[in-house]
Structure 1
Amino acid sequence: MPVSQNPISIQGVSLESISRKFGTPVYVYDGEKIISQIETLKQAFSEVPLKIKYATKALTNVNILKLVKRAGAEVDAVSIEEIKICMEAGFSAAEIMYTPSGVNFREVQEAVELGVMVNLDSISLMEDFGAAYGNSIPACIRINPHIMAGGNEKISVGHVQSKFGISIEQLTDILVIVKKFDLKIVGLHIHTGSDILDAEIFLKGGNVLFEAATNFPDLRFLDFGGGFKVTYKEGDPSTDVHEVGRIVSEAFQQFCTKYGRKLELWIEPGKFLVSESGYLIVESNVVKNTPQLTFVGVDSGLNHLIRPMMYDAFHDVYNLSNIDGDQETYNVVGYICETDTLAKNRKIGKVKKGDFLVFKNAGAYGFSMASNYNSRLRPAEVLVWEGKAHLIRKREEFHDLLRHQVILDI
């Protein structure tokens, strides 16, 4: 029987022991993997002045953010709440980029008061920002490069019909507003999408930035966004970040020579940093045989891991309790009153009631997109760091569901 490629421990800490100690469902993160991913990016872009801005929306636990800071990365936030969480983790305002989308201008003003850099995402936001601050507050502009890239269409964000950024075809309008309010633009930003394999896509987006950048004399950085693809299953391709780093860095250096001075190159990885570090451990509640399928019902569902339903995302799953046993084919489904198939037609070591199943690549957009749908409780989070399992979020309890409800005397 072949040796399983699925981990039974992290840094010597048994996943089963974590499940028994903290209960299920539980998210478990390998802190060393996060540090390793950051180091990989530093090496890939070692030829340029690099800033790694972790896309915090992927996973916002304060302890994960502290690890990111420890490794020398900074952060990108998309809400005022994310900004404040990053500050709780120890990031200074200067280390935070704020990239809002369609927010009330009051939130932008609050971000400015906190001292963070604002990434202007629309013509109307540029006008409001200019009217309020003129050239007193430096800012960045997010450009939509009209590049269709990424995996599922829901995570492709740089195409012509995307709501994100200002169309590159509106560059003239952008320049009119910059001149009108004497805006101090110190950065340009693009983000084409997620799960991008081809280094040429990053370069194509870079060329859009390079051409636009010649119109802005005060730039300090160009931000290439994120979108590096990670491996989800055996044989799955992933982004060759060293190739991306080499190709993009070379083009960036050539641009800086033409621009007349050196700039910083920023990237905003989210999934790449935390996805492979994360595991969702669940318990089998029932094995249900039907004439056509065998279902494994577990104590979780789309309320904890919505990516398979929302993005058709693939998460490899294995039976921790029977990791090298004879395999059978199952549909792994949740306990939500909705169609929440977490894994379809998967060969897994034979499952019985009470077995622990593990979903891999669950670090990004797992807990951060979790909900209380069906009035279910959100799970605990555990970080394995320096060979020990640490509880970093308590499992919710029933009273948490009522905490903010105002009960009337009816």
Structure 2
Amino acid sequence: MHHFNERDGVLYAEDVPLSAIAEAVGTPCYVYSAATFARHVRVFTEALESAGVPHLVCYAMKANSNQAVLSLVGALGAGVDVVSGGELKRALAAGIPANRVVFSGVGKTDRELADALDAGIYCFNVESESELAALSAIAAEKGLTAPVSLRVNPDVTPNTHAKISTGQKETKFGIPVSRAREIYAQAAALPGIMVSGVDMHIGSQITSLSPFDHAFTVMGDLLDALRADGHAITHVDLGGGLGVPYEDARADPPRPEDYAALVARHSNRFGCTVVVEPGRVIAANAGVLLTRVVHRKEAEEKTFIVVDAAMNDLIRPTLYDAHHEIRAVVPRGGTELVDVVGPVCETGDYLAQGRTMPRTERGDLLAIMSAGAYGAVQSSTYNTRTLAAEVMVSGDRFDVVRRPMPPEDQIALDHVPDWIGEAARR
């Protein structure tokens, strides 16, 4: 659920009309509901508690890493899953305790490994033998011990978009499950390494429990083998991936309670703490992208609604063929079949195609729903467009939690060397 609802003919974020935010901040801008973020963290945590699963919830902050979001998540007792040194710095700056941080990702640099070691994070989710060797060398040089899980690729089909499928053997993620025992034996013999867990993550926007059930069974089989080999496994990391309802016409994905019940059925076999990394399910429906209609364009084949948001603000539709519901902030009545497009000079710059939606005119405000995950974090300044602001709402209050970056600020980041004129004359 979320806290974006219509009152008296106007769409609100909690107790603030979106039209008031557009007037104060401008468009396009992202608008987040603090109540929705908080509810989703609590629902996920309470589902695991009710199911009797010993757990650590580590929000996958790649979904939305705004400092206000991280501070709220941390205040609710959750940890975070980071995938870069920059995300680690963001998490620590937001007050997330290092012992509630897990570090994932296939390309951790030596500097990132060293910084995470110094911080004292909960666990490194190691993805290759090369990374394992590098981490061992760095930890040994520092006289520290790195707690390690190996990310195991179970070769499970998650039935999601190919670009967010991570648990099949042809992807870049993890080590083959067939080699897991061999590489765990290597890890146990390395200086500076403490084997503490096993990690899996099979993909994102998964709308059925069956791929999870398959992966958890593979995890249980592997745990039995590793313990037989003498490894003391104190936690399993099940990753994230639970989907959200982007489209009303689509059947709802499993609820966190259903997911927790499935985890509980496997947790007795696991016999240790279960780490989960929800991201999209926490953030997606907690945010919208607010945009204004710039023009209506009646072409021969179709009608285009040109808005001031673009693919640089929300790349998911063109990158993942993603569907986002689009609602009128102040509905006029009636519907029409349109393409909603932005001003960027790319044919792929669209937010919806062939969509039946409320009729709109120039100047109207639209809310692109379920944009709280993988929206602002993937945005850019392509075409020297202003980087959109982010706004957080709580009750009847709102604040800008990321200021916009206009062209002047972008230009100021550039440097023209003194020798450019000379280079032009050559």
TM-score scaled by length of structure 1: 0.93
- What is the aligned partner in structure 2 of residue 246 from structure 1? 261
Alignment CA distance shift 1:386-1:72 (3 Å): farther
Percent sequence identity over aligned pairs: 29
Is 1:149 aligned to 2:154, yes or no?
no
Quote the Cα distance in structure 2 between the aligned partners of 1:360 and 1:227: 19
Instruction: Go from structure 1 to structure 2 and tell me whether the alpha carbon gap of 1:179 and 1:75 turns closer, same or farther (over 3 Å shift).
Output: closer
Counterpart of 2:106, as a letter, is S
State whether structure 2 residue 287 is matched by structure 1 residue 278.
yes
Distance in 1, matches of 2:158 and 2:372, equals 23
Corresponding position: 1:53 with 2:58: yes
Q: Secondary structure at the match of 1:103?
A: coil
Q: Please give the alpha-carbon distance, in whole angstroms, between the structure 2 residues aligned to 1:337 and 1:318.
A: 25
Q: Which residue of 2 aligns with 1:213?
A: 223
Write the distance in 1 (CA, Å) between the matches of 2:327 and 2:82.
33
Cα distance change on mapping 1:403 and 1:121 into 2, 3 Å: farther
Q: What amino acid is aligned across from residue 330 of structure 1 in structure 2?
A: V
Confirm or deny that 1:190 pairs with 2:200: yes
Correspondence for 1:10: 13
Cross-structure match for 2:301: 292
**Which residue, 34, 38, 41 being the options, matches 2:41?**
38
Q: Which residue of 2 aligns with 1:170?
A: 179
1:162-189 deviation per Cα after TM superposition (whole angstroms, max 9, x unaligned)? 1011111111431331243163111111
Letter in 2 for 1:62: Q
For the Cα contact (< 8 Å) 2:208–2:253, is it kept in 1? no
Measured at CA, do residues 381 and 4 of structure 1 come closer, stay the same or move farther in structure 2, by a change above 3 Å?
Answer: closer
Identify the residue that residue 117 of structure 2 maps to in structure 1: 112
CA distance in 2, matches of 1:212, 1:109: 29
CA distance in 2, matches of 1:66, 1:16: 27
* Partners of 1:302 and 1:342 within 8 A in 2: yes
Q: Separation in 2 of the partners of 1:144 and 1:151?
A: 16
What amino acid does structure 2 have at the position aligned with 1:127? A
Residue type matched to 1:224 in 2? L
**8 Å Cα contact 1:4-1:324 kept in structure 2:** no
1:150–1:194 CA contact under 8 A, matched in 2: no
- The structural deviation recorded for 1:342 is 0.8
SS in structure 2 at match of 1:191: coil
SS at match of 1:280: strand
User: How many angstroms apart in 2 are the aligned matches of 1:403 and 1:146?
Assistant: 47
Q: 2:196 & 2:181 partners in 1: Cα distance?
A: 18
Indicate the larger mover: 302-311 or 394-403.
394-403
Instruction: Decide which moves more: 120-129 or 25-34.
Output: 120-129
SS at structure 1 position matched to 2:146:
coil
Q: How many Å apart are 1:324 and its aligned residue?
A: 5.2
Return the offset for 1:150. Answer: 4.2
Deviates more, 1:328-337 or 1:114-123: 114-123
The unaligned stretches of length 5 or more in structure 1 are 257-262
1:247 to partner: Cα distance: 2.0
1:355-395: CA deviation from partner (whole Å, max 9, x where unpaired): 11110000000000001111111111100013311111111
| 1:95-142 C-alpha deviation (Å, 9 max, x unpaired) | 111113223223212221222232111111112223343683222211
Contact persistence 1:184–1:218 (CA under 8 A): no
After superposing the two structures, state which structure 1 stretch, 364-373 or 179-188, moved more: 179-188
The counterpart of 2:237, out of the listed 198, 223, 235, is 223
Quickly say closer, same or farther: Cα 1:282–1:94, change in 2 above 3 A: same
CA RMSD across the alignment:
1.8
Q: Distance in 1 between matches of 2:26 and 2:57?
A: 35
CA contact (8 A) 2:246 2:324 kept: yes
Q: Deviations over 1:47-106 (max 9, x none)?
A: 111211000111111000011112221101000000001111001211111113223223
Deviates more, 1:63-72 or 1:172-181: 172-181
- Residue type of the partner of 1:79? S
Change (3 A) 1:213 1:30: same
Partner of 1:259: none
Please state whether the residue corresponding to 1:45 is helix, strand or coil.
Answer: helix
Which letter maps to 1:78? V
Q: Distance in 1 between matches of 2:131 and 2:283?
A: 31
- Provide Cα deviations, 1:253-304, integer angstroms capped at 9, x if missing partner: 2332xxxxxx111110111001001100111111000121000111121100
SS in 1 for 2:248: coil
Provide TM-score, normalisation by structure 2. 0.90
Shift in alpha-carbon separation, 1:30–1:405, aligned structure 2, 3 A:
same
Map of 1:121 onto structure 2: 127
